[in-house]
């Protein structure tokens, strides 16, 4: 027993590829077990502030939602995220980093009752990112430096996976212990992200004055004023950009034009109004900025695949079925 244990620990502590592979395998298995115990039924829970754990027992079709600045790790299964025409797929060997709040389309592509999809999402606070940058002495990106895309996928290395496991372990610790240790683990994860492949993108989240910050402000404006006419020239002028420059940088971050972005926000809000406030299609369309009910219905069907009435009826049936299951 002692000889086996010493051999195991030697492999665990080894700096070579074999030791890292063993460490990653053990960590992935632990992450699966801990998330499965924390989320016993399909759905999403937030056991600690800013930490979201999810479980799903079947693959899904395309679903419209919103991506928030987050570090996302899959313990088991696989997911695809569509931003504009780009598809980002990730799994237990890759993580997804999102740095701007914007509408996306997602689908689970690997999940079953025997091997459910299990994942975690850690919210990213720009102020905390900036604090870690300062403490670590990491340079701010130059005005035009770094990849501006709001979403990207990279390999999940052993150290990041180790941080994710220790983060999920805190779910099972006393509240006082979790409150003290979670900020420390989160800062370590941020440091490793900043020093890694997506460091420049993450640094853009915390840096003021560059194009990424201006586009983030434009996104916030469009989300708040989605029901108002879009004046590209005026918005670009407020941001200190030319209309052509604003359009170019907006698309670089979001993979959409400002008009396409506004349209997605409008249609998602109309869907919420019909489901949550029981509005008819014409009323919901008017509330989000459409003067022509027929135009609204055509764009809604083009975006969601069904007319407003059929789509809402389908969603209500699905919600009823899930409640009665």
Q: What percent of the chain has pLDDT over 70?
A: 88
CB atoms under 10 Å from CB of 125, counted, come to 15
> pLDDT tens, 9-50?
444 454 577 778 888 899 999 999 999 999 999 999 999 999
pLDDT computed for residue 207 by the predictor: 60
> pLDDT tens, 303-323?
888 999 999 988 888 777 665
Backbone angles phi, psi at 169, to 5 degrees: -60, -30
Which domains occur in the chain, in start order? 2-205 (2.60.120), 206-256 (1.10.10), 261-324 (1.10.10.60)
Tokens of 291: 């003067």
- 150/254 Cα distance (integer angstroms): 6
Band of residue 93 on the pLDDT scale cut at 50, 70, 90 = very high
pTM comes to: 0.76
pLDDT computed for residue 18 by the predictor: 79
Question: Cα dist. 24→31, 75, 86, 158, 171 in Å?
Answer: 10, 11, 29, 6, 20
With 70 as the cut, is the pLDDT of residue 3 above it? no
Dihedral-angle region of residue 184 (phi above 0 means left; psi in -120 to 50 means alpha; beta otherwise): alpha
Three-class DSSP category at 89: strand
Band of residue 114 on the pLDDT scale cut at 50, 70, 90 = very high
With 80 as the cut, is the pLDDT of residue 139 above it? no
Average pLDDT over residues 118-139: 87
> pLDDT tens, 197-207?
998 888 877 76
Three-class DSSP category at 242: coil
Of residues 118 and 256, the one with the higher pLDDT is 118
């Amino acid at each position: 027993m002692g000889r086996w244990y010493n051999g195991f620990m030697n492999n665990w502590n080894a700096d070579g590829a074999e030791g890292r592979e063993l460490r990653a395998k053990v960590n992935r298995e632990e992450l699966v077990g801990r998330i499965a115990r924390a989320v016993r039924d399909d759905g999403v829970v937030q056991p600690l502030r800013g930490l979201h754990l999810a479980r799903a027992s079947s693959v899904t079709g395309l679903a419209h939602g919103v991506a928030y600045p987050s570090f996302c790790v899959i313990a088991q299964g696989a997911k695809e995220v569509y931003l504009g025409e780009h598809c980002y797929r990730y799994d237990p060997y890759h993580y997804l980093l999102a740095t701007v709040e914007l509408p996306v389309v997602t689908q689970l592509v690997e999940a079953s009752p025997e091997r459910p999809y299990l994942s975690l999402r850690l919210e990213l606070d720009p102020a905390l990112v900036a604090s870690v940058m300062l403490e670590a002495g990491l340079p701010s990106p130059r005005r035009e430096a770094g990849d501006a895309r709001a979403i990207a996928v990279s390999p999940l290395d052993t150290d990041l996976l180790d941080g994710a496991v220790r983060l999920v372990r805190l779910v099972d610790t006393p509240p006082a212990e979790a409150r003290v240790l979670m900020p420390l683990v989160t800062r370590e994860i941020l440091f490793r992200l900043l020093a890694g492949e997506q460091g420049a993108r993450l640094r853009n989240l915390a840096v003021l004055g560059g194009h990424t910050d201006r586009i983030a402000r434009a996104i916030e404006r469009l989300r708040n004023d989605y029901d108002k006419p879009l004046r590209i020239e005026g918005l670009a002028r407020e941001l200190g950009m030319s209309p052509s420059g604003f359009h170019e940088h907006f698309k670089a971050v979001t993979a959409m034009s400002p008009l396409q972005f506004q349209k997605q926000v409008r249609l998602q809000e109309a869907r919420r109004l019909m489901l949550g406030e029981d509005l008819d299609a014409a009323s919901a369309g008017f509330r989000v900025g459409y003067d022509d009910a027929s135009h609204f219905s055509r764009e809604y069907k083009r975006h969601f695949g069904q007319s407003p009435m059929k789509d809402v009826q389908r969603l209500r049936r699905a919600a009823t079925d899930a409640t009665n299951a």
